Structure 1
């Protein structure tokens, strides 16, 4: 972080552009190669995966009667472990003390001159239609302009969005930062570039369509002062268009569970917290020490949360809502979710490159929680399709080969996982919906198994892309919430 001064139009002097770009793209990889996902698999991971795959394939060819039940038993154990972890995190999150709160009165009581310098990064690409609303939403932040800088990070060759931003009129404390076109074309690369020109003591990120609680920055400042051990504060994310269609209802209920219960549960045990892609507030000095974001990781947020934990830092969850647009198109949703799943696997692989060091810092329970949440989620989702197909084949023809895969011990464990796991998943989803008062999501929650099918498709796609296009960033299209009707009741929520 250098705090170099830029013109409002975002033009960067030629002598600075290339050095800032080189730092944004290769800074982390140069300083700490093992922390970068530029190489998806290090040597021992690559050979371990090849070895496991070879053993399984040879086993199915030579001794299928032994291999099939062993593989099925391993998958069942994964399901049972993931189910147990979800229950544990959910129960922990039920404790109201796991989420941090700052009242409106306390947030407003701090004098303006006592507030630290704050940097807000807003990366956007191919989104000219949201620029006007973006400026309105950012203008609603309750923070003194002389202690605030908002850097709107646009790709220099994204002429439509750049022209829209300039036409809208960017005035202090907002500044345009034009990121030179370079691979990888990712959000974290843009954020790293923007940090070369930032001077805030605290840094946060908002997406272009976000509508944050106006007092969110003040609340985060108070939490950092209240608890000096915090390195990061993650605000809650919620959707304003949860009633647009069945997909947005599923997405809204899922987010309610994730940000109201599971992340607070992780935080309460000081386990790694995979950050959301927006509204995470970070101490700038800690961010710099951690190396910034990894431009080769397509879930740079989750990766940074893990990296902070592996360095011994803590993350808290703040009860302050940022409203977003839920993805309402199934194809667009699969593109987004497959990127998330791919990034979860990337982040877990990077964190486990030095497994003994990771265990030493975050402990065995924390490491297990990280693996089950980040690697277990996409792997279990992908495996679902295989078991559903086996179930259909068994119902239609009852072939002996499938019966071989389920000896009595495996069969009963699988049955417990299926019955109890599905009931608890539906129940926790209902509670997640209730967390933000969405009682109208009842029908969607009861139809959640259909949502799991979409997750399975996205997981298979994400795993495939991890092997072939690990750093490819699939752009999520925004602005599908059908305009004014969806946003009329979307005023940011404040904690009571």
Structure 2
């Protein structure tokens, strides 16, 4: 598969990946709407779509590396083992250094766009743009509660277009939708039950017929800041036309439920408070979150909207926006959602994210020369170290933990032979200083959030890394067996556990 020829807009120094007909045309042409929603990007710009996991040269390189590794292990296992471990240790050091640099840049502050309540409310209604709010839902019986939370958004109703995106065969959510009090600014959109059965396909289907100037996404469990839409409008006008999107922060309303939700809170706190602002400061691509990202609709159309075949469509879209010549900002507004309180459900969710990160990396390195010219050296470093490194190094953690355990229990000289002095000392840097640095970032984040109750969770983060390893291992396996399979996260578990606890107390 070759690299697609995209159409540059020389007047704006931007790149357009997909030419989308007007929303009014698609509203009348259902077949074309379905085709664009499912296959638009894959057809018009296949080099930017995850419909194929590997292109030919990537498959050849992977086969050659695999054959070389097997041959090395057969002919000279010690030498091959030393080389592989040395390369992986260097990758760990690079990833750790990059993360520390991002964390430090983000912790300095000044990279988040802050809009006060007064400034947000001061914009007259006639100067506000029309706003589409996409809400993809699947098997969500509590849809009515979601709509009531969205009703708290402070935005003129005649400019608001809330679209509840339901799958055609989801009778459970359809029944819940019928119980909602009708509102002119809220409409139910039935998404055809066609492959791929993913959230980004539903978002495409709902967005492409919208005629609004701004667009955002909220998930089923979200509780956004009531002024978030107004803040996003002010922020986008302040940042100017070079910015295509602002990403609001995500937090949790059940962060103190158990140890897993506390770890999740620290994870998100570090990500949205430090890592994303660090990427903005560095001028690197910003992998978006799956919710509360606020787009200029015209730009979203030009870059092909969401890739329905990528299970981390948000991160992929952030990279595609950067490659098209746009930037992403971080908005000082918070959307609360449910932190995953169940370990199995958490692994399912995180494995999908990791799988999508690997998909995104493979898509964006299909033309190394082109992506380097579009992202620059810093952007490519982030793509390799951050996007690919996060899941792949997490998957390798278990191997090194096993080696460490085997050495301390057996002192096998075969294991020692894999770590000549240089590799050994670099590995010790990772083991001691690396782990301490990551623990420090957790403690620092707890202090930033003004949550002293999170300090024990920060000190117990190594247990959380074990869950990350399981999720990464599952992601690698599933990338081969079911690359576009969307493993849905179950919502409302905090409510179920609370109800069960109350019932137990009552009995």
TM (normalized to structure 1)? 0.94
In the TM superposition, residue 106 of structure 1 has moved relative to its aligned partner by: 0.4
Is 1:407–2:420 an aligned residue pair?
yes
Q: Distance in 1 between matches of 2:454 and 2:388?
A: 28
8 Å contact kept, 1:17–1:180: no
Q: For residue 117 of structure 1, what is the aligned residue in structure 2?
A: 130
Q: Distance in 1 between matches of 2:496 and 2:399?
A: 39
**1:220-277 Cα deviation digits (max 9, x unpaired):** 1011111212111000001111111111110010000000000010012221100000
Q: For residue 157 of structure 2, what is the aligned residue in structure 1?
A: 145
- Three-state SS of the structure 1 residue aligned to 2:310 is coil
Q: For residue 291 of structure 2, what is the aligned residue in structure 1?
A: 278
Q: Distance in 2 between matches of 1:248 and 1:271?
A: 29
Q: For residue 482 of structure 1, what is the aligned residue in structure 2?
A: 495
1:38 is aligned, of 48, 51, 56, to 51
- The equivalences for 1:72-471 within 5 A come to 72-128=85-141, 130-228=142-240, 229-471=242-484
- Three-state SS of the structure 2 residue aligned to 1:97 is coil
- Three-state SS of the structure 2 residue aligned to 1:482 is helix
Between the two proteins, the alignment pairs up a number of residues equal to 478
- Three-state SS of the structure 1 residue aligned to 2:196 is coil
8 Å contact kept, 2:288–2:317: yes
- Three-state SS of the structure 1 residue aligned to 2:288 is coil
8 Å contact kept, 2:224–2:334: yes
In the TM superposition, residue 485 of structure 1 has moved relative to its aligned partner by: 6.7
In the TM superposition, residue 191 of structure 1 has moved relative to its aligned partner by: 0.4
Q: Distance in 2 between matches of 1:25 and 1:144?
A: 32
Is 1:47–2:74 an aligned residue pair?
no
Residues 215, 483 of structure 1: alpha-carbon distance in 2 compared, 3 angstrom cutoff: farther
Q: Distance in 2 between matches of 1:320 and 1:433?
A: 19
**1:257-301 Cα deviation digits (max 9, x unpaired):** 000000010012221100000000111111111001000000000
RMSD: 1.5
Q: Distance in 2 between matches of 1:425 and 1:335?
A: 24
In the TM superposition, residue 484 of structure 1 has moved relative to its aligned partner by: 11
Residues 485, 100 of structure 1: alpha-carbon distance in 2 compared, 3 angstrom cutoff: farther
8 Å contact kept, 1:189–1:293: yes
8 Å contact kept, 2:258–2:341: yes
- Three-state SS of the structure 2 residue aligned to 1:120 is strand
Q: For residue 12 of structure 2, what is the aligned residue in structure 1?
A: none
Q: Distance in 1 between matches of 2:485 and 2:455?
A: 36
Q: Distance in 2 between matches of 1:483 and 1:400?
A: 52
Structure 2 unaligned spans of 5+: 1-19, 500-507
In the TM superposition, residue 434 of structure 1 has moved relative to its aligned partner by: 2.8
Q: Distance in 2 between matches of 1:43 and 1:116?
A: 45
Residues 439, 485 of structure 1: alpha-carbon distance in 2 compared, 3 angstrom cutoff: farther
**1:120-171 Cα deviation digits (max 9, x unpaired):** 100000111x212101111000000111101110001101101101112231
- Three-state SS of the structure 2 residue aligned to 1:395 is helix
**1:162-204 Cα deviation digits (max 9, x unpaired):** 1101112231211100001101110000000001221111110
Residues 384, 405 of structure 1: alpha-carbon distance in 2 compared, 3 angstrom cutoff: same
- Three-state SS of the structure 2 residue aligned to 1:71 is helix
8 Å contact kept, 2:283–2:378: no
**1:423-442 Cα deviation digits (max 9, x unpaired):** 11011112223333222111
Q: Distance in 2 between matches of 1:260 and 1:463?
A: 28
Q: Distance in 2 between matches of 1:180 and 1:42?
A: 29
Q: Distance in 2 between matches of 1:315 and 1:186?
A: 24
**1:53-87 Cα deviation digits (max 9, x unpaired):** 11111101111121111111001001100000011
8 Å contact kept, 1:141–1:214: yes
8 Å contact kept, 1:210–1:324: yes
In the TM superposition, residue 450 of structure 1 has moved relative to its aligned partner by: 0.4
**1:8-28 Cα deviation digits (max 9, x unpaired):** xxxx99x74332111100011
Q: Distance in 1 between matches of 2:129 and 2:381?
A: 37
8 Å contact kept, 2:144–2:179: no
TM (normalized to structure 2)? 0.92
Q: Distance in 2 between matches of 1:93 and 1:199?
A: 35
